[in-house]
Structure 1
Amino acid sequence: MTDYPTLYLSIGGTNLSKEGRDAVNVINPATGETIGSVPHATAADLDAALDNAAKGFKTWRNTAADKRAAILTKAAALLKERAGDIAVSLTLEQGKPLAEAKGEIIYSAMLLEFYAGEIKRIYGRTLVRPEGQRVEVQYHPVGPVAGFAAWNFPALNVMRKIGGALAAGCSTIVKPSEETPATGLALVQALIDAGVPGDTVQCVFGVPDDVSRHLLASPIIRKITFTGSTAVGKHLAKLAADDLKIATMELGGHGPVLVFDDVDIDKTLDTMVAAKYRNAGQVCVSPTRFLVHESKFEQFRDGFIARAEKIKVGNGMDDGTQMGPMASERGPDGIAKKIADAVKKGAKLGTGGERIGNQGYFFQPSVLSEVPTDAIIMNEEPFGPIALINPMAGEEAMIEEANRLPYGLAAYAWTNDPARRRRLAAEVETGMLAINSASMSAVDAPFGGVKWSGYGSEDGREGVMACMVPKTVHES
C-alpha cells in the first residue's frame, strides 16, 4: 500500500463521504503536499451519531461478556494483520518513521487484547451484614462516551479513547485529529469488521470546538475522554461540568529528568537521547528538563550534544530515518521562537535550533543548556525536538525544580541509591515516574497525570473502571 486512503465519517455503521459536506485537506508533513481530504460532520450527522450511540449502548452493554471479549480479541488480531498498511497511512499523515508507526499499531492491538481480558475481570463485592441482610456493590457502564484524540499518536490515542469504554460495555463516538484521520478510521473499521456494531463505535470529524460543544451538550453522552493540551482540556472540562459528565483528561507535560552523580552517564545518555527525540519530541511524556548533578553536568551536556548531532532526520518512509518531521507548520515556527527567547535570556545553544530545508516541517535535534527559569521554554511545554540541560546542586534542588511547574504527567530519575529512589517516588509530583528507564507506559498499568496534566487514568484496569459507575444494592 502506497496510496493514502479515502476518508469518511463512520456513523451507525455507514461510511459517509465528503459529498455535500465541508472538508479540510490532510497534509504530509514531510513534503507539505496535500494527500487527502477529510469530511466535516454536519449538525445532522452529529445528531445521528448521538442517536446511534444511545441505541448502541443498549445493545452492547447487554451483549454477553464472553462475546464482547471475543470480538475485541478478533479486532486486535485484525490490527496486527493490517499493521503494515495502517502504518504507511500513519507515517504519511503524521511523519514519524515507519518502524515507529508500525510499533504504535501493534501496541494499540496489545492494549485492546488486554482490555478484552478485563471484560471478564470486572468484579463487584458483597459486604458482610447480619443474617437476613445483604449489601452488594455492582459496577455498570457509565453510558455513551465521547472521545477526542490528539495527532501525535494517531493510533494509540484513539485506542485509549475507545478500548476501555468498549470493554466496560459503553458505546463510543471518537473524534480523531483532522490532521491524522486515516489511522483512527482504520482502528474503528477493524472493530466493526470484528463484530462491534456500527452504532456502538463511531468516528466523526469537524471543527473541534463545534464537534465538542455539540456532543457534550447532549444528555446522551455521559463521559468525555480527551488527550491534548492543558488549555483545551480546561475548556472541555468546563463543558463537561455543565451536565456533570464524568471526564478523563490526559493533558500536557514538561517532563523533568533528575540525573544524579552515581550513575553510568553514557548508559543514561544512550537511553534518554533516543527518548527525547522520539516522534520529534512530540510526546506528552517526553523528557524535557534535564536536571543534572553539577559534577556530571559538562560530561552529560557534551555527550547529549554529540549524540543529537548524529541523529538521522528525514522522511519517515525512508530507510534509516531516526526522526521525522514535526507534524505541522506551527511546530517548527513555535519551537524556533521559544529557542530564540531562551538564548536572548542567556541560555546556551549547544546544537540545532533551526528548521531544516524549505520542504516539509523538519527541525534540527536541538540542545539548550543553562536555561534560566524565566525563559518561556522552561515554563511552557515545547513539544518538539529540544532538550533543556541545567546543572543542579543536589537532590533537594532537583526535586524543587521538578515540582516547580503546574504540570505533573511524567518524570524520570537516574540513580543507583535505593533510599533516594524511594524518596523520589514519594516527593516528585507526577502521575508516572520512570527510574533508570525511559519506559513510561504498559498496557496493564494506569497512564495519567496530576495537576495541570489532567486527572483520571487510561490503560490498565483503571482505563476500564474509568468508564464504569458503582451501584450499591441494599437488601433485607
Structure 2
Amino acid sequence: MYHDLNLFIGGEWRAASGKATRNVTDPATEEALGTIAMATEDDVDAALAAAQSGFATWRRFGTWDRAALLRKTADLIRERVETIATLMSLETGKPIAEARGETNAAADQFEWYAEETKRIYGQIIEGRTGESRMSVIYQPVGVVAAFSAWNFPALLPARKIAAALGAGCSIIIKPAGEAPASCAALVAACHDAGIPAGAVNFLTGNSSMIAERLIRSPIVRKVSVTGSVPVGKEILRLAADGVKKVSMELGGHGPVVIFDDVDAEAVARTCAATKFRNCGQVCISPTRFYVHESQYEAFAGAFAEVAKGLKLGRGLDDGVQMGPMANRRGLTTIEEMVSDAVGLGASVLAGGARPKSMNAGYFFEPTVLGQVPDEALVMREEPFGPIAPITTFRDYDEVMERANALPFGLAGYVFSNNLSLATRASEDLEVGMVGVNEMLLATAEAPFGGIKESGMGREGGSLGVMDYLNPKYVRTRIEPIGRQS
C-alpha cells in the first residue's frame, strides 16, 4: 500500500536529481514505510520555473472552468477516501475513522473553493464627478510557496492548495517529511482532475533548504505556513526581505473555561473526547482546563474516567481510539512535561507514562493531571500530545487574566448555560476562534486562524481566498483628454 514518493514538478512525477531519499517511519512500529525524494537546489529551481509557467496558464482560466476542476478534484478525493485514509493512518498512526474524516474534510476544502472562486467580488466606488469612474478588482497574487505540518497531512495542504487554485494562483507545496503520502494523494487528484501542469507542484526533502530557496526567489509572491511558532517566525524573517505576502497558522495553547452553571461530568466527557483526538496533536486542541472550584471534583473525575477507558493501538486495528504520537521528540517532550508538573505538586489522575504493554511505537497513555500550577511547563508551552492539565478558578476576572496570559491566541473554549456570561467570555478571550459549549471548530465554510504569536491571516471560509489575492484600484476618466482631431 505505502510506496516510495517522488517529486511532482510541471505535471510529472520524478526522482530527485541527486537520487537521494529518506525513510518515512510508521510511528506505531518504528519501522520504515517507504521513502521520500530529497529535492536538490536544482529541483527547487525546476519547481519554481514550472510554477511560474503554470501560473501564466492557470490564471487565464475562467472562474467557472477553475470551479469545475476543483469540484472534480473533490470528487476524486472522495472516491479514493479509503486509500488515502489508509496511507494517512500508516504514516501518522491516527485511527482509521479519524483518517477517513480528515480525508473527507480535505475534499470539502476543494468543494468550498470550487464555489468561492465564482464569488471573488470587486467593488464600484461612486466618483466625485460625472467624468470619473472608480473600481477595485482582485487579482491572483502569483506563485505560492506553502508548507504544512504532519498532524493533519491532508486537511492542512488542502486548505492551501484549494484556496490558491481558487484564486487563480499556482502553488508549490512542501509537506512534512513525517507524513507526505496524504498530500501526494491530493496532488495526484488535482492532476487527474485536469488541473494544468505547473499549477500544483510537490517537493519533499530538507525543509530548511527548500524553504529558504523558495522564499528568497523573486518568483514566489505569497507564503503560507502551518507549523510551530519558532518555524513561523523564521519564515516571516525570510519573507520580509522580499516583502512577500504571508499567512501563517502557528501553535496555540487553547484555554477552556468551565463555569459553575453546567453539568461538569457531561462537559468533561465532551472535552476528553476532543482532547485525545489525534493523540492530542491538534493545534486547536483544548490544552488548559480552568474549572470553577465548585465543579472541579466532578469534572476531573469524569475526565480521568474517559482517559482510562480509551483503547490504544495501531490506527488500522479494530476498536482503536487513540494511536501513537507522530515522533520520538514529541514523546520525550510530553514525558518532561508530566515530570515537571508532578514535581510542582500536580497529581496524576490518569496515565502519565508510556504503556508497559507496548514495546515499540511512540505511544503514551492518555494523561490527566489535576491541580496543575500555572508555572508548570505544560501550562506555559503547548503540550502537543495526549496530556490534559486541569486547574481551578474562583471568579471571572481572575480566570480571564490567566487564560489570556500567554503569547498564543489560536483557539479557546467556554462552557456556560448563561447566555450573558458565555457571550462576555467569548468576546474577552484573546484568540482567533472560540467554541461556546462546542469544541469542533474546523469546517470548510468558517475562517480558521489566530492572533498574537499564533499567526496571521485566515484559512477556510470566504476570508480564506482573500489571502491569495491582491486588490487593485482602477480610476478611469471617461471624458477625452484634449480635443480629438
Identify which range, 341-350 or 448-457, moves more after superposition.
Answer: 341-350
Between the aligned partners of 1:405 and 1:358, the Cα distance in structure 2 is: 37
Residue of structure 2 equivalent to 1:381? 382
Name the Cα RMSD after superposition. Answer: 0.9
CA contact (8 A) 1:41 1:204 kept: yes
**Matching residue's letter, 1:24:** R
Cα distance, 1:261 vs structure 2? 0.8
| Deviation per residue, 1:170-191 (Å, 9 max, x gap) | 0000000111011100000100
Between the aligned partners of 1:198 and 1:276, the Cα distance in structure 2 is: 41
CA contact (8 A) 1:408 1:452 kept: yes
| Deviation per residue, 1:198-238 (Å, 9 max, x gap) | 20100001111110000011000000000010000000000
> What's the TM-score once normalised by structure 1's chain length?
0.98
Name which of 106, 113, 116 aligns with 1:115: 113
Gap change, CA 1:326 and 1:40, over 3 Å in 2: same
| Deviation per residue, 1:293-351 (Å, 9 max, x gap) | 00001111111111110011111000110000001111211100111011111111111
Residue of structure 1 equivalent to 2:469? 468
3-state secondary structure, aligned to 2:448: coil
Cα distance, 1:358 vs structure 2? 2.1
Residue of structure 1 equivalent to 2:145? 146
CA contact (8 A) 2:18 2:39 kept: no
Between the aligned partners of 2:460 and 2:269, the Cα distance in structure 1 is: 28
Residue of structure 2 equivalent to 1:47? 45
Between the aligned partners of 2:311 and 2:395, the Cα distance in structure 1 is: 34
Between the aligned partners of 1:35 and 1:452, the Cα distance in structure 2 is: 35
3-state secondary structure, aligned to 1:388: strand
Residue of structure 1 equivalent to 2:225? 226
**Matching residue's letter, 2:333:** G
Between the aligned partners of 1:394 and 1:302, the Cα distance in structure 2 is: 22
Number of aligned residue pairs: give it.
474
Residue of structure 1 equivalent to 2:22? 24
Residue of structure 2 equivalent to 1:215? 214
Residue of structure 1 equivalent to 2:92? 94
**Matching residue's letter, 1:446:** P
Between the aligned partners of 1:81 and 1:384, the Cα distance in structure 2 is: 31
3-state secondary structure, aligned to 1:466: helix
Cα distance, 1:5 vs structure 2? 2.5
Cα distance, 1:133 vs structure 2? 0.8
Between the aligned partners of 2:415 and 2:194, the Cα distance in structure 1 is: 46
Between the aligned partners of 1:266 and 1:297, the Cα distance in structure 2 is: 10
Residue correspondence of structure 1 range 138-217 to structure 2 within 5 A: 138-217=137-216
Residue of structure 2 equivalent to 1:402? 403
Residue of structure 1 equivalent to 2:481? none
| Deviation per residue, 1:120-165 (Å, 9 max, x gap) | 1000011111211100100000000000000000000111121111
Between the aligned partners of 1:25 and 1:256, the Cα distance in structure 2 is: 37
3-state secondary structure, aligned to 1:295: helix
Between the aligned partners of 1:162 and 1:466, the Cα distance in structure 2 is: 12
Between the aligned partners of 1:240 and 1:202, the Cα distance in structure 2 is: 20
Between the aligned partners of 2:100 and 2:476, the Cα distance in structure 1 is: 52
CA contact (8 A) 1:27 1:93 kept: yes
Between the aligned partners of 1:395 and 1:96, the Cα distance in structure 2 is: 37
| Deviation per residue, 1:236-264 (Å, 9 max, x gap) | 00000110001011000010000011112
Between the aligned partners of 1:276 and 1:341, the Cα distance in structure 2 is: 20
Between the aligned partners of 2:177 and 2:454, the Cα distance in structure 1 is: 23
| Deviation per residue, 1:264-285 (Å, 9 max, x gap) | 2222122111000000000000
3-state secondary structure, aligned to 1:362: coil
| Deviation per residue, 1:355-383 (Å, 9 max, x gap) | 12220111000011111122111111010
> What's the TM-score once normalised by structure 2's chain length?
0.97
**Matching residue's letter, 2:104:** I
Cα distance, 1:19 vs structure 2? 7.2
Gap change, CA 1:20 and 1:209, over 3 Å in 2: closer
| Deviation per residue, 1:435-465 (Å, 9 max, x gap) | 0011112211100000010110000111111
Residue of structure 2 equivalent to 1:125? 123
CA contact (8 A) 2:59 2:168 kept: yes
**Matching residue's letter, 1:9:** L
**Matching residue's letter, 2:184:** L
In the alignment, structure 2 segments of 5+ residues that lack a partner are 478-485
Residue correspondence of structure 1 range 305-344 to structure 2 within 5 A: 305-344=304-343
Between the aligned partners of 1:315 and 1:93, the Cα distance in structure 2 is: 11
Residue of structure 1 equivalent to 2:480? none
Residue of structure 2 equivalent to 1:299? 298
Residue of structure 2 equivalent to 1:432? 433
Gap change, CA 1:125 and 1:18, over 3 Å in 2: closer
3-state secondary structure, aligned to 1:368: strand
CA contact (8 A) 1:18 1:38 kept: no
CA contact (8 A) 2:105 2:443 kept: no
Identify which range, 408-417 or 421-430, moves more after superposition.
Answer: 421-430
3-state secondary structure, aligned to 1:475: strand
Cα distance, 1:394 vs structure 2? 2.1
Cα distance, 1:400 vs structure 2? 1.0
Between the aligned partners of 1:264 and 1:60, the Cα distance in structure 2 is: 53
Between the aligned partners of 1:61 and 1:311, the Cα distance in structure 2 is: 49
Between the aligned partners of 1:351 and 1:123, the Cα distance in structure 2 is: 52
Cα distance, 1:20 vs structure 2? 3.7
CA contact (8 A) 2:72 2:193 kept: yes
Between the aligned partners of 1:226 and 1:358, the Cα distance in structure 2 is: 35
Identify which range, 37-46 or 10-19, moves more after superposition.
Answer: 10-19
Between the aligned partners of 2:350 and 2:423, the Cα distance in structure 1 is: 35
Between the aligned partners of 1:266 and 1:408, the Cα distance in structure 2 is: 27
Residue of structure 1 equivalent to 2:392? 391
3-state secondary structure, aligned to 2:336: helix
**Matching residue's letter, 1:325:** P
Cα distance, 1:397 vs structure 2? 1.6
Residue of structure 2 equivalent to 1:70? 68
CA contact (8 A) 1:27 1:36 kept: yes
Between the aligned partners of 1:333 and 1:43, the Cα distance in structure 2 is: 33
Residue of structure 2 equivalent to 1:245? 244
CA contact (8 A) 1:21 1:42 kept: no
Between the aligned partners of 1:196 and 1:203, the Cα distance in structure 2 is: 14
Identify which range, 445-454 or 347-356, moves more after superposition.
Answer: 347-356
Between the aligned partners of 1:351 and 1:26, the Cα distance in structure 2 is: 32
